[in-house]
Each structure stands twice: as C-alpha cells, then as structure tokens.
A and B are shown apart, each in its own frame.
Chain A
Amino acid sequence: MPEAIHKPPSERAQRVFIYSVLLLFVVYFLAPFFVMFITSIKTMDEIRNGTLIALPRQPTLEPWLKAWGYATIGVTNEGIRGFFWNSIRMVIPAVLISTIIGAVNGYVLSKWRFRGSDTFFAMLLLGCFIPFQVILLPMARTLGLLGLSESVWGLVLVHVVYGLAFTTLFFRNYYVAVPSELVNAARIDGAGFFRIFWRIMLPISTPIFMVTIIWQTTQIWNDFLFGVCFSTGETQPITVALNNLVNTSSAVKEYNVDMAAAIIAALPTLFVYFVAGKYFVRGLTAGAVKG
C-alpha cells in the first residue's frame, strides 16, 4: 500500500508514540541477549574487572571454542558438541514423525469422520493438558519394557507421543476450514484416501506445517525434564548438558563459556524462527486456500 503523503499531525504523533513504545520493548528484550553475547567474547579477566555492559576491549572466540569443544561437563572434557548433535538427532525425527502423524490425524478427524471421532478428538485433546511430571514414572517403565530407556530414540518416542495432541489439534482445526466439497469432488474424480491427502490437502497445508514445525521444534529442543529423566551421560540432549556445564564445580566460574554455550543451545530455535517464520507469513498471505 502506498504511504499517504499528507498525514494529519495527530496521526503522525500516534505513529511516533507507537514506534517509541515498540523500540522500548525491542531494547528490553534484546538487552539480555546483548549482555550474553558480549560476555561470551570477553576474557575472564575482563569480566572480573569490567562492568556487565562494557564492550570487550579484546574480543576473543576462545570461550566459544571451549564451550563447543573442550569444556568440562560432568566427567568428560569434550564440550557441548556431542550433546548438541544428540539434540539434533532427537529433534529432527521427533518433529517430523509427530507432524506427519498429526497431519494424517487432522485429515481423518475433519474429513473422514467416523462414529465416535469427535469423542476420540476430545480425548486426544486432554493430552494437551497433562503436565509432564504426571507421566514420568509410567513413561520410564514403558521405555524400559520397550528397551529404549536412556537412548535418543526413547526420547524421540516420548516427544512424538506427547506432541501428537498438539499437532493433531493444529491440523484438525486447519482442515476443518477447508471445504468438504473439495474432498467430495476428488472422491468423485476417483481419488482415494491417500491420494486426496497427498494431492489436494498437503499442497495447501504449508502455513500449518510451518506453525506445527516451529511449535514442535521449540518444544522438543527446549525440553529439559524428559531429557534429564530419560537419558544419561552420552545420550543427554543439550539442555541437560548446558545445566551440567554451568553446575560442574571447578575453581573458577567461567561466565564467558557458560554464555557461549547458552547461545549455542539457543541457536537452532532462533534459526527455525527466522527461516520458517518467513515461509509462515508468506503462506498466510498467499491466500491459496480459498477455492
């Protein structure tokens, strides 16, 4: 939309006010990250002698290298590198599996209803309200029986099961808004259950896929409780490793290494927001759903 050339002064003042407030919030939210970042590139000497917000005089990448490669975590000296990959290996299958099953669930619950499907959906929704802590013991037992305890695949299973309630909810609500006539037309055209899903529903699902992937990635990557309960030592995800790094007692508290590790731990979720968020908005504005 072209900018109006002559805006009344009152409207201008409003704009200035709105942007000032927004700017204030931006500063407020970015300040902690700023402190984390500059701390992570200072030497320990500088941290001890300077103030919190002072810029580094001699920036160094050493804390980052240490955090990544050779910081002491628990009893090992290999940094958070291995745990970072643990998390990646856990998040990718867990997000993909829970999203795909959620999409099929949503498709069935909105377009192929069966007797009791609404009840089924209501029960599934209860899953959104069950606190993590409640299922810890039964889940530990289940994982033990399945032979998956203390493995990355065990964590994947837990996150898939726990995420299904949310992913199903997202897709079901999205597909409910898609006209059923579309499915009927495809049925008359001779397409079956999966062909309709693949050729008609999936191509118009980009926005909801992005929402679900952002949601699931953030949830699973950031999870600490399941990670700390269902994994040990080498299979722990990065959130647990970060905790252990900070809590590993040594002579000096290395704030710069802690900060670098914390930022590394946060990078993938930031990445997903920046990349997928763009597609998300694009998908919404394309207006492709209207038949």
Chain B
Amino acid sequence: MASLKIQNVCKSFGAVDVLKGIDLEIESGEFLVLVGPSGCGKSTLLNLIAGLETVTSGDVLIGDRVVNAVSPKDRDIAMVFQSYALYPNMNVRKNLSFGLETRKVAKPEIDATIERVAQMLQITDLLDRKPAQLSGGQRQRVAMGRALARNPKIFLFDEPLSNLDAKLRVEMRTEIKRLHQRIHTTIVYVTHDQIEAMTLADRVVVMKQGIVQQVGTPTEIYDTPANTFVASFIGSPAMNLMQGEIEGGTFRGTNVEIAGLSAADGPVTLGFRAEDAAVADTSADIKAPIYTIELLGDATMLTVRAGGEMVSVKAAKDFRAEIGDAVSISVPVGVCHLFDHESGERLAS
C-alpha cells in the first residue's frame, strides 16, 4: 500500500498536448476512478503512473519517492489491461507466476501465492488452461489474478470491464469492489463508464481534454457538479441543462419559468436532474408538449423541449400519456443548479 501524488504533470506527443498540468493526491488504500470521454488523457495518465510512458514535465510520486525515471518493473505496481494481455503461449498458472519468476521469488512461495490467488478469484479449475480456452469473464479473472499475485503497492486498472457483456460487467464490478474492501490496496481505475465510476470509487476524477474538471466523492460529483461538462457526463440520464435569462430572481426560457432563484440578472444555464422534478397539476414551472415517453418499468421517462434543450423528467411508473399531450412539470428551486452560460462553470448559490 502506498499513496500516490501527481504534481503538475504534462504530457505531449509531438505537438499534441495530451495532459495539461494534472495535480492529484491519492491516499493510501483509496479507490480512485479516472473517468472521461475517449481522448481525455485518462489512459495516458495511467500509463505515466505505470511508467510505460515518461512525463514531459511534472512529477509522479509513489509513497514519497519521485518515480519519473523509474522503470515499470521497479515501481511495485500491477496493471490490468482492457484486452487482458494474457500471455497466449502460457497456461493460467504460468501467466500468474511469470511476474514472480522474473522477480526470482522462491518456488514454494510462488506455488502458495498462486494457490491463494486462484482460490480468491475462483480460478483454481482453470490453472492448466491456455488463455484461448477461457471465456471473457474467466480471462478477466486471470488478468486480475496476475496483478494480485504480485501483491503490489498500487493497482492500475485500464478499462478492465469494457470487453465484457453487460451482465458480466455488473458482476465483475461488484467483485472488484469487494476485492478492494478485502485487500485495501490503493487502486487507480480508468473508465469511460460513469456508472462504474459512481459505484466503485471512493473519489472520482472527471477529466476532459487533458484537464481535471472535478475531483470528489461520487455524491459530490453527482450533487454539485463543478461545471456543465461534469453535469452532463455524470448521471444517467444526464443532467438537464436549459438556456435562459434571470430577471429579478426568475429564470425564463422557452416553455419554462422558474421563480424564486437568488442570482444576478443575466443569461444563465439552469440544470436539474430528471428525478428531482415531477409531473404536477399545479405550480407548473415547465409547460410543454410531450416529445417522447419511455416506460422503464420502475418509472416512466418523459422528454419535453424547454429552454432550447431536450429535458427529461422521471414520472411515476403508472404515468401514461400520449406523445404531443401537454404536460406540466414542477422544478423546485432547491434542486436547480446554475452555471455560467458561457464558461459553463458552476455559479455560487
């Protein structure tokens, strides 16, 4: 176990700046998730931590040691790759022991470690198989086993679940979470899936175009997004964002009028989450014809056009209406988030 510090790290490939000054502190034993759209630099950051790439400027510290010039094998880290990267010519046992053999661990100790790891991940039956004879989920387990066998200071996961089907992904997600609760090793986990980020992380780092947008617990990120990018990236469906103007404490836009806001006059972006609004008979803040209606089972999802955008609202599971019917929606002032209409930054409320 070790803490990890990223200090003003920049990385460029030729003329392309992939990371533009990243600062992060990860506590020992913490589960940190890096999330963002493709090309945001999250995998590059992970490779820098692993030592597979070198920083252009800035420092990476594992524990208190600057590791900028330390090769991957001497950083005492283990990594699980998206494609699993199992050695195709070796059986599962060899895959697990390769890293230990390279480090000249004694044979009895290797055997004991493999036994322990295989039991923990329930892959004992698979030890003599080749990777080609395993299913996706089994390969995923072996890849995790290979990392576990080494008992490193820090685990790095690079989108480990994105090659699995939906059901298996949820299963493995739970398993990774339980694994962390059991071994309490520092984990840095990269994903583009915001649900994985929300469910797994102690803290989430949202990244975009090589810049950290927000760092916080899943609740903080969800409840107080720092800007419109985070608001629209985290949550399913994304936070509704409407364009309009505030005048005397009232937000006005197409089909929408919300009173009682304490903010300066001027153009603004107003956001709220689908589950925070409700279909109402009275006190209609949004009045618009229904654009789509989706039955989700546990709820009914409506979309309407308001404030120049599509707005989703979660209604009761037995709510029924036709497309085109007029609907009234109440949006309590307390659930509204205000953002600068140009920069997208959150406005102090």
Q: Which residues of A contact B (CB under 8 A)?
A: 179, 181-182, 184-192, 195, 199-200, 203-204, 287-291
Contact = CB atoms under 8 A, between A and B. Distances in A.
Given A185-B79, A191-B98, 8 more contacts: A184-B79, A185-B81, A185-B85, A185-B146, A188-B72, A190-B102, A200-B89, A291-B84
A287 B132 CA distance: 8
B83 interface: yes
Interface string B68-108: 00011100011101111111111000000011001100000
A126 to B, nearest CB: 26
Interface string B31-58: 0000000000000000000111000000
A91 to B, nearest CB: 29
A182 B85 contact: yes
Given A184-B52, A287-B132, A195 B102 contact: yes
A163 to B, nearest CB: 27
Contacts of A189: 73, 98-99, 102, 146, 150
Contacts of B84: 291
Contacts of A203: 89-90
A181 B88 contact: no
Nearest to B158: A181
A83 B79 CA distance: 57
16 contacts: A179-B85, A181-B82, A184-B85, A185-B85, A186-B98, A188-B72, A188-B73, A188-B78, A189-B73, A189-B98, A189-B102, A190-B73, A199-B98, A203-B89, A204-B89, A288-B89
Nearest to B103: A190
A182 B87 contact: yes
6 closest pairs, A vs B, by CB?
Answer: A189-B99, A203-B89, A190-B73, A181-B85, A190-B102, A185-B85
B89 A187 contact: no
Contacts of B102: 189-191, 195
Q: Which of B52, B78, B86 gathers most chain A CB within 10 Å?
A: B52
A291 B89 contact: no
A200 B88 CA distance: 8
Given A185-B85, A187-B72, A290 B79 contact: no
Given A187-B73, A189-B73, A291 B85 contact: yes
Secondary structure dominating the interface of B: loop
A190 B99 contact: yes
A274 to B, nearest CB: 26
Contacts of A290: 88, 132
A189 to B, nearest CB: 3
B132 A181 contact: no
A200 B90 CA distance: 9
A189 B103 CA distance: 8
Contacts of B145: none
Contacts of B50: 184, 188
Contacts of A192: 73
B88 A289 contact: yes
B271 interface: no
Nearest to A181: B85
B131 interface: yes
A189 B76 CA distance: 9
A181 B99 contact: no
A284 to B, nearest CB: 14
A36 to B, nearest CB: 43
**Central interface residue in A182, A190, A200, A290, by most chain B CB within 10 Å:** A190
B83 A181 contact: yes
Contacts of A200: 87, 89
A158 B77 CA distance: 47
Contacts of A195: 102
Given A181-B81, A191-B73, A186 B87 contact: yes
A43 B44 CA distance: 76
B81 to A, nearest CB: 4
Nearest to A286: B132
A54 B57 CA distance: 83
Contacts of A185: 79, 81, 85-87, 146
A188 B89 contact: no
A188 B153 CA distance: 13
A262 B3 CA distance: 74
Given A190-B73, A291-B88, A184 B81 contact: yes
Given A287-B132, A288-B132, A188 B79 contact: yes
